[in-house]
Amino acid sequence: MLERGRIRALVDSCDGELAARRVLIPRLLGMEDSSRYWSIWMTLDHLRITNLAFAHVMEELTQGRVPEGKASTAAVKPDPGVGAGVDSEYEKSCETLLAVVDGVKEWRSEPRYEHPWFGPMNAQAWHGLAGAHMGIHRTQMEEILRCLRRRS
């Protein structure tokens, strides 16, 4: 997970006080407008939630099952009050995602699960989305830090 290392470097580059500050950033390609006013901790919380969701969806699809329920952008919003404790939980979610990926024997699953923006996707598509998604939010974190440091 190349993006995981880049995200780790960003988190390590700032103290907890800076990471807790919310800042309004310009809209980024691939990111909802409602995600523009987050902190570093909120971004990690969102990634924690989505990593676990991606892992679950991929695991189910590669086992020939369609996950129950409906994917929702509202269900993956971070806790605005999240703190430094999210860092270790985010790392655990990365490990969970990697464990699922490492265990997959066949990516081209027949079943599909619908993404709110992209429609029905198989496990291989969800796998590709997981990495791209982390890249979008790594860019978001870079912008958050750029804005915060400009204010200092």
pLDDT at 68: 95
Q: What CATH architecture is 2-151? A: Up-down Bundle (1.20)
CB atoms within 10 A of CB 96: 17
pLDDT in the model for residue 9? 97
Section 137-147 average pLDDT: 97
For residues 126-143, b (16+ Cβ closer than 10 Å) or e, as one string? bbebbeebbeebbbbbeb
- Range list of H helices, 21-122: 40-62, 86-103
- As a whole number, mean pLDDT of residues 124-128 equals 95
Question: Cβ contacts of residue 73 below 8 Å, gap of 6+?
Answer: 32, 116, 117
CA 51-56-60 angle, 5° bins: 150
Q: What pairs with residue 114 in β-bridges?
A: 120
Tell me the per-residue pLDDT of 14-47, one tens digit each, with 9 for 90 and over.
999 999 999 999 999 888 899 999 999 999 999 9
Residue 76 phi/psi, 5-degree rounding, is: -115, 20
Angle 125-131-136 from CA coordinates, rounded to 5°: 115
* pLDDT at residue number 147: 94
Q: Write out pLDDT tens, residues 70-123.
A: 999 999 999 999 999 999 999 999 999 999 999 998 888 799 999 999 999 999
Predicted confidence at residue 108, as pLDDT, reads 80
Q: How is the chain split into domains, by residue range?
A: 2-151
Contact present, 78 and 45 (Cβ < 8 Å)? yes
Mean pLDDT of 117-130: 95
Find the length of the chain: 152
Q: What is the pLDDT at residue 152? A: 66
How high is the pLDDT of residue 71? 95
